Amino acid sequence: REKQLVEYFRAQMRKDPDMASAVAAIRTLLEFLKRDKGETILGLRESLKWATDCLTGEDSSVAVSSGGELFLRFISLTSLEHQDLSRCKKVMEERGELFLEKISMSRTKVAKLCHTFIKDGAKILTHSYSRVVLRVLEKAAAEKKRFSVYVTESQPDSAGRQMAEALRKLNVPVTVVLDAAVGYVLEKVDLVIVGAEGVVESGGIINKIGTYQMAVCSKAHNKPFYVVAESFKFVRLYPLNQQDVPDKFKYKADTLKTVQNLSEEHPMIDYTPPSLITLLFTDLGVLTPSAVSDELIKLYL
Amino acid sequence: MVMFSLTPVLDVCTQQQEGKELTKEEKQRLRKEKKQQKKSKEKKDDKPSRDSEKEKKPASAASPAPQTPTQPPAQKAAPAPVPVPASETPSAADKPAKSKAELKAERRARQEAERASKGKKGDVGPQAAPGKPKAPPSELQPVVKRLPEHVQVDNPEVLKKLAKKLERQQVYGCAPNCCGCIPLRSDYGYKVSLFSHLHQYSRKAPLTQQLGIPSTVIHPAIVRLGLQYSQGIVAGSNARSVALLHAFKQVIRDYTTPPNEELSRDLVNRLKPYISFLNQCRPLSASMGNAIKYIKKEISNIPSQCKEEEAKRKLLNCIDCYINEKIVLAAKAIAKYSIEKISDGDVILVYGCSSLVNHILCEAFEKNRKFRVIVVDSRPRLEGREALRRLVQKGINCTYVLISAVSYILPEVSKVFLGAHALLANGYVMSRVGTSQIALVAKAFNVPVLVCCETYKFCERVQTDSFVSNELDDPDDLIVTRTGTTQLEHWQEVPSLGLLNLVYDVTPPDFVDLVITDLGMIPCTSVPVVLRVKNVDQ
C-alpha cells in the first residue's frame, strides 16, 4: 500500500512540475481517502495520518507535513454525525475537493496582492527557485512593470540558475550572483522577495539555506524583506533558534534514511526569525509576522 | 464557628450605591442603559439625565463642590461610576425637580472647567483594577478616564473618599457603640517622588495592632489571610490566589442567607468589604483579581429558586474546579509543552522563585533530560534561595549568582525561563522586579527568553512602564545587609534620603521570545488573541 501511495505521489509531481509538492501530497491524500476501505472514522483518521507520514518520508519538506495536517483538520471540521460511514466519507471527500480547489487558487491570490508592491524601475533580490515568487514576478511583468532581478545561485543544488532561466523567458533582465555576494549587491536593490517552505507560529519562516543571511543583511541595509507563501504552509512549530528546528525538516528525505551521523551533513534549510521580516503575503491577506499567530490559531483550533 | 445572621439594614442601599466595585453584569447593564438613553435622546440630553442622578445623590462622595481646577477630573471620576448605579433603584425613574435647561448649563460649565484641566491629569490613567470598564468614548464629550484609588495616594480627596467608603462598608449587625469600621491603613515613611502615588506600608507591627478589627465585621479566615499577606508569609501569585480561594470557601461555608435576601446578591455584597480589607493588607494581584471576578460571576449566576445548601455546595464545587483547572492542570500542560523546549546539555537560567518554573524543571528532570540550572537572586527578598533549595533537593545541578553577575554568566546560558505575575493586554510581562533586566541582558547576548504563565493570569490592563501601577514594599527591608551592618538605620532622619523597595516591573514583548501557556506556545504579541478567545468562550 505504501508503494502505491508513493507511486501516485511521484506521478502527480511529474504530471505538473509547476505544482507545489504539498498540493501533490494533498491530491494523493484525497485519492487515498477515496480508495480507503476503513470501517470507522477514527480508523480513517489514523490511516490518513499514516499516509501523511509516508509522504513526508518521500519528500521531507515542511510544506508536505503542514499541508497534510491542515487537510486532515479541514475535512474533519464539519459535523460527522451521519449514521453510516459512506455518507461521512462522502462529506469528507467533498470537503477535500473544496480544500484542493482553494489552495490551487492560492498562488494567484498571492500574486495579485504582491505585485502592487513592485514599483516601476524596481530592483529585486530573490533567493533560489521559488514558484510563488515566479508567479508574482510574472504578474508584475504582465502589468507592464519594468524591473530587474538579482538571483542568488543557491548552492548546493544551484536552483538559482533554474529561476534565472525562467525569468529570462519572461524577458526580465536577470543577474545571477554568488551566495556570498548578497551583502555586496544589497545596496543596489530596492526590495527583497523570497518564498517559504514553511511559516512557523512565531511568524518566522523556514526556507532554503541562505535566507537567514539575506534577511540579516537586508535589515542592516534597511531594505524591506517580503515573504510570499500560501496558507497551507503554516505549521505548528516554534523554533527558538537554528538549532531548534527538528532534524526531519533540515535534511532531504533520502539523506535522513541513509546517513548515520547527521552532524556531518549540511542542512538544506534555515530559520529566519520574525523580527527580520517586514511583511508576509499569503492568500489570507497581507500579514505582519505577529498576525501569523492569530491566523494559525484560527486555522488550527 | 461564627454565624453571620444579618438584619437588613437601610444602609445596604447606600452601600450598593457607593460601592465602587460593581460586578461585571451591573456595569454591562449600566452601559446598555446609557447607550439606550443616548439613542432615544440627543447626545446633549444624555448628560443631564446622568447629571440629574448626580444631583439626587445625597452626601455622596463627601468632597465639596469641585471648584478647584485640579479636582474636577478626580471628582468626575469618582462620582461618575457611583451615581450611575442609582439608576438601578426604581427612584431613578423619577425626573429631577430642576429643569433640563438649568442642568445642561450647569453641566456645560463644569465640562469647560474639566476640559481646561484635562491636560493636568492627562490620559495616562491606566484602566487598572480588574473589573473597571473602559470609559465608553463619546464622540462629542471628552472621555473622563477614571484613575483607580490605589494610584491616587497623593490625592487627599481620594483618600478621604476611600476612608468614608470603608466606614460605610462595615455596618452589618454592628452594635452602635462598636468602632466597626476598617480604618484606612496609613502610609509609612518618605516616598520617592516618582512613586508617591502608590501606597507604602510598614511591616514592623502586625496589621491587627494598627487596625482594630472586631471579628463580627470581617470573617476570621479573611483576617488571617490578610495578616499572612501583609507579613509576607503567603507570597507568590499562585499561592496567594489559592489561599484566597480557600478563605472564600470557608466564608461560603459559614454563610447563611438573611431573611428577605437573595443569596446571589447578598453574598456578593458581603464579599466586598473583605476584598477592600485584603486590598489594604496588600494590593491585590492580577491573578487574585481574575479569581474574584470569576467567583462573583458564579455567585450572581445562582438561580433564585436554588436552595441555600445546594447553592453553597455548587459554589464550593466551582471554586474547587477553578483551582484544579486553572492552576493544577494548567501547570501540567505547561510542563508538557516546556519539556519539548529543554534539550540535553542545556544550561537554563531562572530568576527568583516561580512555582511554575520550578515545577517545569522538576518534571523535566524526572523525564531524564540532562541540564543544569543557574539560579539568579536579588536583595532584599532573596527568593532564589527557596528555588535553589527545591531544585537541589531533586538532585538538579545548580549554580547560584546574584543579579549583578548576570552579564558575566550569560555567555554560558542556552535558555532563560522566567515566571510571570501577570501578562498585560499589550503583550508586556509584569513580573518580579529584576526580570526585565535579565530579559534585556539576555537579548543582548542573543539568548532565547521563555516566559511561562497560566491563562488565568492574563489581564485586560495595558501598561508600558513600571511607574504607573506598581507596589511599594516596606523600605525598612533595605536597611539590613548580609553582614548585619545597618548604616541606613536612621534613614528617616535624613530629609533628602528615600528608600525604594519596588516589587514588580514590566518587560516589553520584544525581549520575550516565547510565552508558554496552557493553551500552547504563543508569541508575546498574541496575548490579546488569547484574551479574545477566552471572552468568546465565556
By the 8 A CB rule, do A194 and A133 touch? Answer: yes
Which of B327, B345, B362 corresponds to the end of one domain?
Answer: B327
Write the residue in A202, A241, A244 that is nearest to B523 by C-beta. Answer: A202
At B151 the pLDDT is 67
The residue among B104 and B469 whose pLDDT is bigger is B469
Residues in chain A: 301
Model confidence band, residue B142 (pLDDT cutoffs 50, 70, 90): low
- Over residues B524-531, mean pLDDT: 85
Number of domains comprising chain B? 2
CA distance B274 to B293: 14
CA distance B368 to B371: 9
Residue contact A290–B523, C-beta within 8 A: yes
CB of B105 within 8 Å of a chain A CB? The answer is no
Q: Which residue of B has its CA nearest to A300?
A: B520
Lowest-confidence pick of B130-134, B198-202, B240-244, B469-473: B130-134
Q: How many CB atoms lie within 10 A of CB A45?
A: 15
Q: How many CB contacts within 8 angstroms connect chain A with chain B?
A: 33
CB of B521 within 8 Å of a chain A CB? The answer is yes
By the 8 A CB rule, do B170 and B217 touch? Answer: yes
Lowest-confidence pick of A7-16, A77-86, B140-149, B262-271: B140-149
Best residue in B416, B417, B521, B536 for a mutation probing chain A (most A CBs within 10 Å): B521
Write the residue in B514, B522, B525 that is nearest to A240 by C-beta. Answer: B514
- Nearest-10 Cα torsion for B434, B440, B441, B443: 140
pLDDT > 70: percent of chain B? 72
Write the residue in A274, A275, A293 that is nearest to B522 by C-beta. Answer: A293
B487 and B398 in a common domain: yes
pLDDT > 70? residue A86: yes
Which of B327, B354, B389 corresponds to the end of one domain?
Answer: B327
C-alpha cell at B436: 526585565
B62, part of any domain: no
C-alpha cell at A194: 523570497
DSSP-derived secondary structure letter, B439: H
Reported ipTM:
0.81
B317 and B372 in a common domain: no
CB contacts, 8 Å: B334 with chain A: none
CA distance B455 to B331: 10
C-alpha cell at B79: 462620582
Question: Grid cell 445562582 — which residue?
Answer: B302
Among candidate residues A58, A49, A66, the one with its CA nearest the CA of residue A200:
A66
CA distance B497 to B492: 7
Where are the domains positioned within chain A? 1-106, 110-300
**A35-71 pLDDT, tens per residue?**
877 777 777 788 888 888 888 877 777 888 888 888 8
- Nearest-10 Cα torsion for B343, B349, B352, B356: -10
B345 and B315 in a common domain: no
Highest mean pLDDT among A17-21, B233-237, B486-490: B233-237
B83, part of any domain: no
CA distance B183 to A100: 70
B289, part of any domain: yes
B457 and B349 in a common domain: yes
At B448 the pLDDT is 95
Lowest-confidence pick of A135-144, B79-88, B110-119, B248-257: B79-88
- Over residues B429-458, mean pLDDT: 94
Residue contact A244–B341, C-beta within 8 A: yes
Instruction: Print the domain residue range for B271.
Output: 200-327
The CATH code of the domain that includes B524 is: 3.40.50.10470
B398 and B531 in a common domain: yes
B310 and B442 in a common domain: no
Write the residue in B450, B513, B526 that is nearest to A293 by C-beta. Answer: B526
pLDDT > 60? residue B11: no
Residue contact A203–B529, C-beta within 8 A: no
CA distance B101 to B47: 11
Lowest-confidence pick of B145-149, B156-160, B172-176, B433-437: B172-176
CATH number for the domain whose boundaries are A110-300: 3.40.50.10470
Model confidence band, residue B63 (pLDDT cutoffs 50, 70, 90): very low
E strand residue ranges, B403-503? 415-419, 422-423, 429-432, 449-452
End-to-end CA distance of chain B: 36
Residues in chain B: 538
CA distance A179 to B352: 46
- The residue type of A252 is K
By the 8 A CB rule, do A12 and A27 touch? Answer: yes
The residue among B216 and B407 whose pLDDT is bigger is B407
B435 and B492 in a common domain: yes
Interfacial residues of A (vs B; Cβ cutoff 8 Å)? 201-203, 238, 240-241, 244, 274-275, 290, 293-294, 297, 301
Lowest-confidence pick of A33-42, A133-142, B40-49, B128-137: B128-137
In what helix (H) or strand (E) does residue B252 lie, and over which residues does it extend? Answer: helix B237-254
By the 8 A CB rule, do A149 and A173 touch? Answer: yes
Model confidence band, residue A294 (pLDDT cutoffs 50, 70, 90): confident
End-to-end CA distance of chain A: 31
CB of B450 within 8 Å of a chain A CB? The answer is yes
Provide the chain B residues 499-518 that lie in CB contact (below 8 A) with chain A: 510, 513-514
B259 and B235 in a common domain: yes
Q: How far is B238 from chain A (nearest CA, A)?
A: 27
CB contacts, 8 Å: B523 with chain A: 201-203, 274, 290, 293
- Over residues A202-211, mean pLDDT: 93
CA distance B510 to B519: 21
Q: Which residue of B has its CA nearest to A243?
A: B343
CB of B206 within 8 Å of a chain A CB? The answer is no
Residues β-bridged to residue B402: B377
CATH T-level topology, domain A1-106 = Four Helix Bundle (Hemerythrin (Met), subunit A) (1.20.120)
- Over residues B287-304, mean pLDDT: 89
- Start-end of H helices in A172-286: 182-185, 211-220, 247-250, 253-258
B82, part of any domain: no
Burial B389-409 (b: 16+ CB within 10 A, else e): ebbeeeebebeeeebeebeee
At B141 the pLDDT is 52
Model confidence band, residue B181 (pLDDT cutoffs 50, 70, 90): low
Q: How far is B526 from chain A (nearest CA, A)?
A: 7
B357 and B298 in a common domain: no
B505 and B371 in a common domain: yes
Best residue in A297, A298, A299, A301 for a mutation probing chain B (most B CBs within 10 Å): A297
**A227-257 pLDDT, tens per residue?**
999 888 888 889 999 988 888 888 887 777 7
B472 and B375 in a common domain: yes
B318, part of any domain: yes
Best residue in B340, B416, B529 for a mutation probing chain A (most A CBs within 10 Å): B529
B445 and B361 in a common domain: yes
C-alpha cell at B3: 454565624
Write the residue in B521, B523, B529 that is nearest to A203 by C-beta. Answer: B523
The CATH code of the domain that includes B310 is: 1.20.120.420
pLDDT > 70? residue B131: no
DSSP-derived secondary structure letter, B260: T
Write the residue in A201, A203, A274 that is nearest to B521 by C-beta. Answer: A201
pLDDT > 70? residue B138: no
At B114 the pLDDT is 72
